[in-house]
Amino acid sequence: MIELQTTGVSRSFGGLLAVDRVDLTVRRGELRALIGPNGAGKSTLLNLLAGTLAPSAGSIRLGDRNITRASVPQRALLGIGRSFQVVNLFEGLTCRQVLELALQRDVPMRRWALPSGAAAIRRRAAEALEAAGLASIADEESTRISHGLQKRLEIALALANAPRVLLLDEPMAGMSAEERIALRETLRQVAGRSTIVFVEHDIEMVMSLAASVTLLHNGTIVCEGTPDEVRRNPVAQDVYLRGER
């Protein structure tokens, strides 16, 4: 079943076509990686899906709904989640409190007001912090932690709400090898329940995590397929992979 689809979607900045008539189809529950050299249009495409940028042409569908003109909040309500910047947003709250707050949003008040409901939210928040490698700083103030840790808190926050579609732009940037492996496990667990589209530079990580890979170059899709298919594709090797090995 198709969950997310762009048809002839383009976005220009002045004279520059950052995304050029892209047809992207992502099935429900898929874990899709977007790869490509710097400036290929990966972030722009992700922003078009999230609604933070409007397309210059083309259309975008979520399931059987046309969301081309839907605003970011409308898309969020329809289940398109993305990591957003925590910086300054939760002044005075600890990392644990930020997550508990996000989780409460999805639970009716009559449930989280009960001791059992509150305990469930505490447990889920603790699990999300653990999964994001933030357990040891759970009680530190969220706006005072380092940039790298804030980035992880943002991912934990996006994951905690188990969105229908999760968009992540280089979620592993700045993480240690251990943290990357932990996040890979988390994303594997979330895939299936959520459809995930992520941009990632670490090609080994992409190959071992993504079910399918889309290679962008100059705003267009150069090749697409399973990690092995993309790895073997001569055009992909020319454009991107050769330089990575």
Ligand X SMILES: Nc1ncnc2c1ncn2[C@@H]1O[C@H](COP(=O)(O)OP(=O)(O)O)[C@@H](O)[C@H]1O
Our CB check for Mg ion shows the closer of 37 and 63 to be 37
Total residues found in the chain within this entry? 245
**What does DSSP assign to residue 170?**
S
Choose among ligand X, Mg ion, none what residue 121 binds, the Cβ cut-off being 5 to 8 Å by kind: none
| Span near ligand X by CB under 6 A; candidates 40-48, 56-64, 70-78, 145-153 | 40-48
Q: How far is the CB of 154 from Mg ion (least distance, A)?
A: 16
Q: Is 245 exposed, middle or buried (0-12, 13-18, 19+ CB in 10 A)?
A: exposed
Question: Count of alpha carbons within 13 Å of 156, Cβ hemisphere only?
Answer: 31
Among 43, 83, 195, 233, binds ligand X (CB under 6 A): 43
Among 36, 58, 81, 227, binds ligand X (CB under 6 A): 36
Q: How far is the CB of 118 from Mg ion (least distance, A)?
A: 39
Cβ-Cβ contacts under 8 Å for 187 (sequence gap 6 or more): 31, 171, 196, 198, 209
Choose among ligand X, Mg ion, none what residue 81 binds, the Cβ cut-off being 5 to 8 Å by kind: none
Interface with Mg ion by CB under 5 A: which residues?
42-43
Q: How far apart are CA 241 and CA 178, in angstroms?
A: 24
Q: How far is the CB of 77 from ligand X (least distance, A)?
A: 25
Q: Name the residue with tokens 């592993």.
A: 172
Q: How far is the CB of 139 from ligand X (least distance, A)?
A: 35
Among 3, 32, 41, 125, binds ligand X (CB under 6 A): 41
Closest-CA residue to 89 (of 34, 44, 150, 17): 150
* Structure tokens, 242: 């050769």
Q: How far is the CB of 25 from ligand X (least distance, A)?
A: 19
Closest-CA residue to 145 (of 224, 218, 86, 69): 86
Our CB check for Mg ion shows the closer of 43 and 83 to be 43
Applying CB under 6 A, the residues found at the interface with ligand X are 13, 16, 18, 36, 38-44
